[in-house]
């Protein structure tokens, strides 16, 4: 049958070793906890900045979509302007041709009248 150890019958040397090990573990956990606390404080300081950056990115995306829409509108206007410009060039050419024709007729009239 197995022997049962009672707390009063334990070896004092083993008790001290166990106490030292427990103290070392407690010290390591304390160090770990302090380090973790520092990380938590850093996260608490940086978290609002990250939230603000996320809001800024969303705003930039919104503005980008708006700018894309505006660019499409401007492209349409430019296309229409180019069409109107070509139309005006043709009209100007026709007017210039008409003026040349009138100038020739005027020369003929002036020659006949003797001016």
Per-residue exposure over 2-41, b if at least 16 CB sit within 10 Å of its own CB, e if not: eeeeeeeeeeeeeeeeeeeeeeeeeeeeeeeeeeeeeeee
What would the mean pLDDT of 5-17 be, rounded to a whole number? Answer: 70
The reported pLDDT for the residue numbered 37 is 87
Confidence of residue 4 (pLDDT cuts 50, 70, 90): low
The reported pLDDT for the residue numbered 86 is 92
Q: What does pLDDT average to over the chain?
A: 89
For the cut 80, the answer to whether the pLDDT of residue 9 exceeds it is no
pLDDT above 90: percentage of residues in the chain: 71
The reported pLDDT for the residue numbered 1 is 46
């Amino acid at each position: 049958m197995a022997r049962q150890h009672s707390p009063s019958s334990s070896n004092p040397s083993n008790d001290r070793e166990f106490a030292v090990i427990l103290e070392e573990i407690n010290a390591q956990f304390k160090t770990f906890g302090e380090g973790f606390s520092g990380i938590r404080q850093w996260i608490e300081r940086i978290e609002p900045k990250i939230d603000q950056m996320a809001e800024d990115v969303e705003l930039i995306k919104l503005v980008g979509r708006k700018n894309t829409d505006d660019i499409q509108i401007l492209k349409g206007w430019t296309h229409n302007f180019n069409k109107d410009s070509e139309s005006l060039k043709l009209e100007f050419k026709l007017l210039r041709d008409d003026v040349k024709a009138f100038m020739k007729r005027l020369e003929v009239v002036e020659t006949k009248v003797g001016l």
